[in-house]
Amino acid sequence: MASLATGISAAFGAAAGLGLVAGGWFYASRWPASRLFGEALTAPARSGELALTFDDGPNPAWTPKLLDLLAHHGVQATFFLLGSFAQAEPELVRRIAAAGHLIGNHTWSHPHLSSTPAAKVHEELARTNEALEQIVGAKVRYFRPPFGARRPVVFRIARELGLTPVLWNAMTSDWSEPSAERVAARLAAKIDKLTQRGRAVNLVLHDGNHREREGKRGPSVTAAEQLIRRYESTHRFVMVDAWQ
Q: Which of 55, 56, 174, 207 is catalytic?
A: 55
Residue nearest to Zn ion (CB): 55
Q: Does 174 engage in binding with Zn ion (CB under 5 A)? A: no
Binding track, positions 113-142, relative to Zn ion; x by CB under 5 A: ------------------------------
- The DSSP secondary structure of 21-64, one letter per residue, reads HHHHHHHHTT-TT--TTS--B---S-TTEEEEEEEEE--TTTHH
Q: Which residue, 132 or 195, has its beta carbon nearer to Zn ion? A: 132
Beta bridge partners of 54: 79, 205
Residues with Cβ within 8 Å of residue 99, at least 6 apart in sequence: 67, 70, 71, 76
Contacting range for Zn ion; rule: CB under 5 A; set: 53-61, 115-123, 148-156, 181-189: 53-61
49, 55, 124, 207: which one binds Zn ion (CB under 5 A): 55
32, 57, 146, 165: which one binds Zn ion (CB under 5 A): 146
Q: Which of 206, 207, 210, 235 is catalytic?
A: 206
Amino acid at 20: L
Is 206 annotated as catalytic? yes
CB 172 within 8 A of CB 191: no
Minimum distance, C-beta of residue 133 to Zn ion, in the bound complex (Å): 20
Q: Which residue, 106 or 235, has its beta carbon nearer to Zn ion? A: 106
CB 42 within 8 A of CB 169: yes
155-174: buried (b, 16+ CB within 10 Å) or exposed (e) per residue?
bebbeebebbbbbbbbbbeb
Minimum distance, C-beta of residue 1 to Zn ion, in the bound complex (Å): 53
| Cis peptide, bond prior to residue 58, ω within 30 of zero | yes
Is 72 annotated as catalytic? no
Instruction: Kindly list the catalytic residues.
Output: 55, 206
Residues that bind Zn ion (CB under 5 A): 55-56, 146
